[in-house]
Amino acid sequence: MAEEIVKSKWVNFLVADAEVNYGLADDVYSVAGSGNVGALSRVMEAFKQANGGLWVGGKMALTRTAVRLSASALNRLVQEGTLDIDLPLAMIRKVTLEGGFVTKIVRLDTDAGSVKFRCFGARDVAALIEKMTLSRA
């Protein structure tokens, strides 16, 4: 039986090893008639260098035991790398809300590093995750 989902949100999550398949992206852009992939690739690679990864669109599912991040079908089509993250609540040491351009960023710190995702309603999501991690302690 699947574990109950306490909260679910559309998110973008930062993936350090994300790579864009520019050949496939060019095909998608050509069909949609929406841009120059060569120019996009230069911007994406500069962004990745400056920010330590690329934002991957998908979904966050919070259960009583974990935060699960998974890429959308479109992102799976044009990106490679860690497109699924399963972070047990027991590993989370600190929950922080960071600023962002349009949406705030939820940062989950563990002994092994940090996981970041952004979404609308990030303040409430961060508070819920923090409450759930503290109740496990």
pLDDT band at 45; cut points 50, 70, 90? confident
Mean pLDDT of 94-122: 95
Which pLDDT score, from 0 to 100, does residue 1 have? 55
Look at residue 75 and give its three-state secondary structure.
Answer: helix
Furthest CA-CA distance within the chain: 52
Q: What is the C-alpha to C-alpha distance for residues 125 and 104, in angstroms, rounded to an integer?
A: 10
pLDDT at residue 34 greater than cutoff 60: no
CA atoms within 13 A on the CB side of 119: 23
pLDDT band at 19; cut points 50, 70, 90? confident
| Least confidently predicted of 15-29, 62-76, 95-109 | 15-29
Which pLDDT score, from 0 to 100, does residue 50 have? 80
8-state DSSP, 49: H
Fold of 5-136: PH-domain like (2.30.29)
Which pLDDT score, from 0 to 100, does residue 35 have? 60
Helix (H) / strand (E) element for 39: namely: helix 37-51
